[in-house]
Structure 1
Amino acid sequence: MKSSQILIPMTKEVPNDAQIISHQLMIRAGLISKLASGLYSYLPMGLKVLKKVEQIIREEMNISNAQEVLMPVAQPAELWQESGRWEQYGAELLRFNDRHGRAFCLGPTHEEVITNLAGQYLNSYKQLPVNFYQIQTKFRDEIRPRFGVMRSREFIMKDAYSFHLNAESMQAEFEKMHATYCRIFERLGLDYRPVLADSGSIGGENSIEFHVLAESGEDEICFSNESEYAANIEKVAFSEQTATCLPSATEEEVLTKKKTSIEAVAEFLNVKKSDCVKTLIIKTKEGFKALALRGDHELNEIKVQNLYGEFELASDEEIKSLNLKKGFIGVKGLNIDLIVDYSAAVMCDFVCGANEWDKHLTGANWTDIKFKTADLRNAVAGDDSPDGKGQLVIKRGIEVGHIFQLGDKYAKAMNANVVGESGKSETMLMGCYGIGVTRVIAAAIEQNYDDRGIIFPASIAPFQVVIVPINYTKSTRVKKLTDDLYQQCLDAGIEVLLNDKKERAGIMFAESELLGIPHRLVLSDTHADNGNIEYKARNNPNKVEVPFSEVLSYIQAQLSE
């Protein structure tokens, strides 16, 4: 294709709301155009990338014997009410009524629709196992859309759902999808990691996320430096510890002069944050709870939610009603349940609040304090790996895929049953497997760029080769050589972009680099004189002179690497 025949609205300006590099470069390179908050149009170059990502996913899903379907974006409320998620899902579910007053939503996911479909057409165990997938638009009414297509309101997702008669079959499909996802992300050219994860609002157990490693990632993922262990930080579980110290200090109440944060208290008392215990008050369905953690640790909200269900931090007024002083809450004399994190429970001679204004305790210990222990905290770098091998390293990741074992959560609620081998009706078990198709593009850019623009992995670049002729419209020799080379590439099945615009060489070079096309060929009058063509790979600063007669075979060799 020629540049003059395709819309590529490049710009040097960076949008004010573009906080991460992928958002900036996708706008600057003319891949996407913003319509409204969290809503983007894919322009021709961006759509070419999107379709390549979809094709790789589709090919690998088909190889795994999954069957492609396409389900509606608009979904009737009755299905969501049947599964129990109509109210549970929250404000991200965009609800609306049709002209007849019937309630619908725009689907953020399709568990209800596929379960309804399976309930209609699967009636015997002989039809199982089966896996259906689609590549479809989703809509989640994010309260704060950001980062371009990374967290938009409307996006494209590959979601798949499998149905099984027993847990062994469900596990086998889960493992097959794990292998399929690894092949997909390898073909996409991504540096990724599968990690243990929490199932979140989808539900189910045995959940694995696939993360692309990038500094801009919203998630923290933890790896052992000596084993294959890897988990999302919210999923890293710690075991109860055995105390390694004996109390030796005398407890003392000290004036801390309105120091209310762990940082301020530790600095004032000249101790480490790890020598302090902080106490948080939360409100649950069971009432108020006090959670105690080591001063340098952060609360893991997912772990607390798994213990007590939905919760929130107590307000200032609620803390006051419990006769506690915000900023000086301690672990002694509480009239509510106290739950102590495993790491904090083995501390000795620590600093904590004194439950009096402007006062803390030094030399505090757990003697005579009634409490329970639990795993409450996030991991930190250097923690022992939960598998007992090595220490944890923490990096940031972008979640691009997630696989679940849903069990009977949806099938049971929606009466999706088949006749089993015994002749009796049995509830099917389900698996769920998602890939954020549009998010993959942003993640690939976050991992592959430099100060000149995008460096697309070859498998998803909009074009394989760009031809940049100097003085194309002025020099008949350059035009003849360029047109011949362009036609040779087309005849050889090479995806080639010819920059035939009337621009200076520097501008054309900058545009090809911004777009991230893997291979560039440059022709000029000088090349017409010496019979060579200049070749440069996008990810390599070196240039190579190739004889015109050999350039096609040379570029084919580069494409095959």
Structure 2
Amino acid sequence: MRWTEFLIPTLKEDPQDAEAVSHKLMVRAGLIRRLTAGAYIYLPLGLKVLKKVEQIVREEMNKTGAIELFMPALQPVELWKKTGRYDVIGDVMIKFLDRHGKEIALGPTHEEIITDLVSREIRSYKDLPICLYQIQTKFRDEVRPRFGVVRSSEFIMKDAYSFDKDEDALEIAYSRMYQAYCNIFTRCGLPYIPVLADTGMMGGRVSHEFMIPSLIGEDRIVVCSSCKYAASTEIAPAVLREGAGAGEEKFLEKNLVNTPGKVKVDDISVLLNVSKEKIIKTLIYMADGKPVAILLRGDHEANEAKIKNKLKVVRFAMADEKNILDVTRGARGFSGPCGLNIPIYADFAVKGIINAVTGANIVDAHYVNVNYERDFNVTEWIDARVITEKDPCPKCGAGIEIKNALEVGHTFKLGTKYSQALNAKYLDENGHEKVLVMGCYGIGVTRIIPAIIETNADKDGIVWPITVAPYEVIVICLNNKDDMESAKEAERIYRELSAKNIDALLDDRFDKSPGVKFKDADLIGIPLQIVVGKKSLAEGNVEIRDRKMKSSHLINKEEAAEYIYQKIKILTRNLSKN
């Protein structure tokens, strides 16, 4: 493709509404343009990257034996109601009434649809195992779309679904898909980390997230450098459970103190001159519509995923002001365990705190010298907090590191959650009816692109891995209208590259200076550059530049195309190794 015949609207300045590096560069490099909040147009250069990512995903899925299909984005909500997820997903689902008054949803995911299909098409154990997948647009009404296409309301996802006769067969399917994911992210040049994860609204008993360490990552993961343990902070157990002040023998009488306007732990710590470890936070939640209290040490953060799973509830959220008032007779920020008549679940770290500070369930007041058993009771002690870097590895006891990470894939062992609800069954070898066992495997296809940029960019722009680059090589002609020799040689090399099926871009702009061409080439991130100029041609050479290594060397002009061909083979092979 010739630059003058393509649409590559590069920009010199960062867009004002962009925070993430990937968002800035995708706009500046002419990959995307914003249509409205959470919705983006993929310009030709961005579409080429997207199609290459899709092709890698498709190739690895096909290698596993998965079969591609395509399901509608329009979904009847009745299927969601059968599985119980209609109420759980809430306002994230985009819904509307058609002209017949029927409620329709734009699919945020397709578990219900695929299970309904299989329930009508799979009859016998002879039809199993089977794995079906699609690459399809999803829709979610995000509260706060951000970071460009990282968190958008319309996005492309690969979702695969395996159906097996039992758990042993699911293990085989899951292992096969897990390896396929490793292959995909390796080929895309991503430094992925598979981590144990919460199954969330998807359900099931086991899941893994494939995470990319990134400053813009909205998830946090725990990584142990010693034993390689890796997990989402949502499920990583907090091993250290002793409370602050353990060993103190003096129990003081509970006293009420004035704390006007002080609702934050930091403020209470300063006002009362106590460490945060001596403060007990009391958080009021609604669990399936019923209030519960969660007690945490002042320096710890509530782990809602852990608590929700422990309580075995479907809906779990912070109580609003009215519910807090009904439960505590006080305002938010002044809740405490003393006198509460609701279930109280306390984190293990609270148990050893002696002479604690707690809310008094009275506006502008706290209690000091509060002690467990004498002043309040606990319904159950649980692991209710987010693990910290002060905690040891849950597996080996070594030190851990907590990183921000960007999720690009998620795999689930769903079991029979959906097949049971939607009557997806089969007849076994003995003619007995059994429920199908499912697995689910998702990849954020459009999210892979910003993830690559976040981990492969420098001060000059994007640095694409060869496998997903919009073009593998760019031929930069430094000529002007008076230098037709350079133009002819650049054209010859471009044609030779094309004859070798190399995806090449020819920068044939006469009206742009060499400096502009070099800046644009670096910005859009083409891995290899061939620079054709009058000076080097005088000696029969052209310049070869490596975008990532920032290296360059001269080569005979007749050997340039074959050199690039062999270089691409090496770079591609290096990204296929596991």
TM-score by length of 1: 0.94
1:194 is paired with a residue whose SS is strand
Cα distance, 1:123–1:85 mapped onto 2, change above 3 Å: same
Q: Which of 358, 362, 366 is the aligned partner of 2:372?
A: 366
Does the alignment pair 1:158 with 2:158? Answer: yes
Does the alignment pair 1:411 with 2:419? Answer: yes
Write out aligned runs for 1:103-118 (5 A).
103-118=103-118
Deviations 1:136-192, CA, capped at 9 Å, x for gaps: 111122233222111111111111001111111112111111111011111110011
Does the alignment pair 1:393 with 2:401? Answer: yes
- Is the 8 Å Cα contact of residues 248 and 349 (structure 1) preserved in structure 2? no
Letter of the structure 1 residue corresponding to residue 71 of structure 2: M
TM-superposed deviation, 1:325:
5.6
Does the alignment pair 1:534 with 2:543? Answer: yes
Does the alignment pair 1:303 with 2:306? Answer: yes
- Is the 8 Å Cα contact of residues 240 and 391 (structure 2) preserved in structure 1? no
For the residues of structure 1 that align with 2:140 and 2:212, how far apart are their CA atoms? 22
Deviations 1:108-162, CA, capped at 9 Å, x for gaps: 1111221122122211001111101111111122233222111111111111001
Letter of the structure 2 residue corresponding to residue 248 of structure 1: E
Does the alignment pair 1:245 with 2:271? Answer: no
- Is the 8 Å Cα contact of residues 249 and 363 (structure 1) preserved in structure 2? no
For the residues of structure 1 that align with 2:556 and 2:250, how far apart are their CA atoms? 82
Does the alignment pair 1:499 with 2:502? Answer: no
Aligned to 1:313: 318
1:148 is paired with a residue whose SS is coil
Cα distance, 1:479–1:392 mapped onto 2, change above 3 Å: same
TM-superposed deviation, 1:436:
0.6
1:535 is paired with a residue whose SS is strand
- Is the 8 Å Cα contact of residues 472 and 500 (structure 1) preserved in structure 2? no
- Is the 8 Å Cα contact of residues 278 and 357 (structure 2) preserved in structure 1? yes
For the residues of structure 2 that align with 1:509 and 1:257, how far apart are their CA atoms? 62
Write out aligned runs for 1:196-207 (5 A).
196-207=196-207
Does the alignment pair 1:209 with 2:209? Answer: yes
1:481 is paired with a residue whose SS is helix
For the residues of structure 2 that align with 1:99 and 1:335, how far apart are their CA atoms? 50
For the residues of structure 1 that align with 2:534 and 2:362, how far apart are their CA atoms? 84
Q: Say which is worse superposed, 267-276 or 131-140, in terms of deviation.
A: 267-276
Aligned to 1:516: 525
Deviations 1:454-505, CA, capped at 9 Å, x for gaps: 1111110001111111125330221122122112211222211110012011
For the residues of structure 2 that align with 1:220 and 1:3, how far apart are their CA atoms? 41
Which structure 2 segments of 5+ residues have no match? 572-578
For the residues of structure 2 that align with 1:530 and 1:349, how far apart are their CA atoms? 85
Q: Say which is worse superposed, 179-188 or 14-23, in terms of deviation.
A: 14-23
Letter of the structure 1 residue corresponding to residue 252 of structure 2: E
CA RMSD of aligned residues (A): 2.1
For the residues of structure 2 that align with 1:87 and 1:284, how far apart are their CA atoms? 14
- Is the 8 Å Cα contact of residues 239 and 391 (structure 2) preserved in structure 1? no
Letter of the structure 2 residue corresponding to residue 245 of structure 1: A
Aligned to 1:26: 26
For the residues of structure 2 that align with 1:97 and 1:320, how far apart are their CA atoms? 38
For the residues of structure 2 that align with 1:492 and 1:552, how far apart are their CA atoms? 8
Aligned to 1:266: 269
Number of equivalences: 561
Letter of the structure 2 residue corresponding to residue 149 of structure 1: V
Aligned to 1:131: 131
Does the alignment pair 1:289 with 2:292? Answer: yes
2:486 is paired with a residue whose SS is helix
TM-superposed deviation, 1:330:
3.3
For the residues of structure 2 that align with 1:130 and 1:529, how far apart are their CA atoms? 62
Deviations 1:304-354, CA, capped at 9 Å, x for gaps: 222144233334444444234644433334333322101222333443335
For the residues of structure 1 that align with 2:7 and 2:323, how far apart are their CA atoms? 59
- Is the 8 Å Cα contact of residues 240 and 374 (structure 1) preserved in structure 2? no
2:385 is paired with a residue whose SS is coil
For the residues of structure 2 that align with 1:80 and 1:257, how far apart are their CA atoms? 48
